[in-house]
Structure 1
């Protein structure tokens, strides 16, 4: 029971599940989710005190500050992964130690406003890249060494839409 409760705190919107493909309407919803994330994250963190930025969303979890900076780090990596898959033949993507990155000095000392602005600009570029993808482009792949699998860009689309909503839920959870 305790393990289930911890899993719910860690994954408040559930685990990501790829259904094996998306139709264009679903892709549009996922792109919309990605496009709207910076504004949602800004609204959720607006006017938070230093004390609130240091709240953890679960025992042993990151602070709101770390979550915001993590989303920026992760989504920077994502657009690079998309571009690699579009321009190379099934490139191997570079994993990184997310937990270690969350402990780096820049996460502790950089105001979250910097990452919020970065996300706004990055997501504008990202949506501009995604808009107008052909079916062939959605099926382009990259190899994910941690998952030991090839992933099509449409799966990455779903994963990163989920990722943004997942961490937005963490922020809201920490503030309850």
Structure 2
């Protein structure tokens, strides 16, 4: 049988299967086994993404959804960093272009996606290059902040090393608040 399950470890527990996930973040974790021997407090779950060849992290729990690009409706008299609004499940969600803020460009070789962060009235999206992925870092992965564009200095709080790659922790709530203040009106 082609779709045969070979291990009971990959099956959902009945209590999980009967209670639907409330958020996209919860949906993403269903079926992913926890690393054995890892203390939940020892490592933090992140979503890693790429913008203008810079690697960023946001806490996994703050991600509402990862979406294909949707039609974006421009808003007049706004900066190039605010692409406009998308209709996401009947809600208007602002879409920010972090790449234009740091004078970068979108990587046209990789798929462009929307990373939707927050919930309710505090929801916004960032255009990212490629498909975001799960990361796990703990205190031992912390590294000094590398050189990065001054335009994002206020929105980066920590850096984590993964072999030769450095990931910057994006303080996305501050980023969204500061961008909202730049919108006229």
> TM > 0.5 between the two?
no
Q: TM-score under structure 2 normalisation?
A: 0.31
**Greater relative CO (CA pairs within 8 A, separation 6+):** 1
Which one has a larger percent helix, Structure 1 or Structure 2?
1
Q: TM-score under structure 1 normalisation?
A: 0.32
Q: Which has the larger radius of gyration?
A: 2
